[in-house]
Structure 1
Amino acid sequence: MPEITVMFFLVAVLAVTFAGISKAGFGSGAAFASSSILALVVDPGVALAFMLPLLMLIDVASLRPYWRRWRMRESLLLLLGGMPGVALGAIFYRSVDADAMRILIGGISVAFVAWQLSGHLRPRLAKPCENADVTGVASGLVAGFTSFVSHAGGPPAAFYLLGRDMTKTEYQACSVLVFGVLNAAKFIPYAMLGLVTPASLKLDLMLAPFALLGAWMGVRMHYKVSERLFFSLTYLLLLTTGAKLIWDGLI
């Protein structure tokens, strides 16, 4: 358990509140950055384990506002790939080259946003096609794997969901449902790997109010932000997190 200093507490509060706002209001694309923020003051592995129960709490708090507003087909396709992805993450956690994975996912995220802004990608992905199901499952597989090893499953899921011609609330609800299930599935493997401990859970209890505050703020912001601004912010978050992943993988 990290030493609870004033600096640690301030950084942890910022990270947890940011995670709540991002996950509850703007998808999960940038929520992984909370672990990166925490990694400024604690070991990265500690940051991942510390954040998981709080992410699960945010998932639970976010379910009711978006209940049954998701697109079930898209959500199930992501979960169909996501659950095996979590299992693969658990199997290869000790040996995976996290930096290479960060660079890969970051590159995909940045390229997706660049193409999306060019005005060519979304109309193509929005059309029904025979590869849509394969894309959903493949995105879910990558999302489950990267979610397990670095809580960075948001960009791969967004790659699929943003191309499905959804409203902002459908997109958000799908993110809440998918990552609510995937985060819950990660808990037991995390505990078996020794990542979640009684000491880390005690620290989570101290910061749980800030996770709930962030989730409340995120839901309110979601409904106050216009659909055009919402997707613009989502692309910005995806671009920022993609660039951050590339940077983390290179340094």
Structure 2
Amino acid sequence: MVLPENFPLITDPFFYAVTIPAVLLLGVSKSGFGAGFGSLAVPMMALAVSVPQAAAILMPVLLLMDVLGMAAFRKDFDLKLLKFLIPCGLVGIVVGALLFKLLDARLVAGIVGV
């Protein structure tokens, strides 16, 4: 498989030393054991890469966790609640994507830090 030039692989060992524990912490937290410790994943990864890059790396991981969680509870859902949550979630995704492109990395770091 050949990757395009604008998709460089991260080869820094420090990145992996920070990212692997951050992703594990995020997974444990998302499963309900670590309470709010998952919120430390992006700041931990920000030690090695920029905050927007750290968030972008974690988004597919979070998406996969959510899809697997939905698969586990596919027979237990509230249609009325879904009719409310899906449009609101889509609005949040669009606003987040637009702001992700427009905001400076330092401002994103400040927002995540708060």
Check whether TM > 0.5.
Answer: yes
Cα distance change of structure 1 residues 234 and 203 upon mapping to structure 2, 3 Å threshold? same
Aligned AA (1:158) = V
Looking at structure 2, the residues matched to 153 and 164 of structure 1 have their Cα atoms a distance apart, in angstroms, of 19
Aligned match of 1:197 in 66, 76, 90? 76
Aligned match of 1:160 in 44, 48, 60? 44
Cα distance change of structure 1 residues 159 and 224 upon mapping to structure 2, 3 Å threshold? closer
Cα distance change of structure 1 residues 165 and 138 upon mapping to structure 2, 3 Å threshold? closer
Cα distance change of structure 1 residues 70 and 156 upon mapping to structure 2, 3 Å threshold? farther
> Is residue 176 from structure 1 mapped to residue 59 from structure 2 by the alignment?
yes
In structure 1, the residue matched to 2:3 is none
Deviation for aligned residue 1:175: 2.2
- CA contact under 8 A between 1:140 and 1:156: conserved in structure 2? no
Looking at structure 1, the residues matched to 36 and 88 of structure 2 have their Cα atoms a distance apart, in angstroms, of 21
Which segments of structure 1 move beyond 6 Å, counting only runs of 4 or more?
A: 69-72
In structure 1, the residue matched to 2:27 is 144
Aligned match of 1:219 in 82, 97, 103? 97
Cα distance change of structure 1 residues 73 and 153 upon mapping to structure 2, 3 Å threshold? farther
After TM superposition, list the pairs within 5 Å mapping 1:38-49 onto structure 2: none
Does the residue aligned with 1:136 lie in a helix, a strand or coil?
A: helix
Deviation for aligned residue 1:73: 5.8
Cα distance change of structure 1 residues 137 and 228 upon mapping to structure 2, 3 Å threshold? closer
Deviation for aligned residue 1:184: 1.6
Looking at structure 2, the residues matched to 183 and 225 of structure 1 have their Cα atoms a distance apart, in angstroms, of 26
**Alignment RMSD, CA only?**
3.3
Aligned residues: 108
Deviation for aligned residue 1:229: 1.2
In structure 2, the residue matched to 1:118 is none
TM normalised by structure 2 equals 0.69
Aligned match of 2:88 in 207, 210, 213? 210
Aligned AA (1:149) = G
Q: Report the more deviating stretch, 201-210 or 140-149.
A: 201-210
Looking at structure 1, the residues matched to 62 and 41 of structure 2 have their Cα atoms a distance apart, in angstroms, of 9
In structure 2, the residue matched to 1:230 is 108
Does the residue aligned with 2:32 lie in a helix, a strand or coil?
A: helix
Deviation for aligned residue 1:70: 8.2
Gaps of 5+ in 1: 1-68, 75-126, 237-251
Aligned AA (1:188) = A
Gaps of 5+ in 2: 1-5
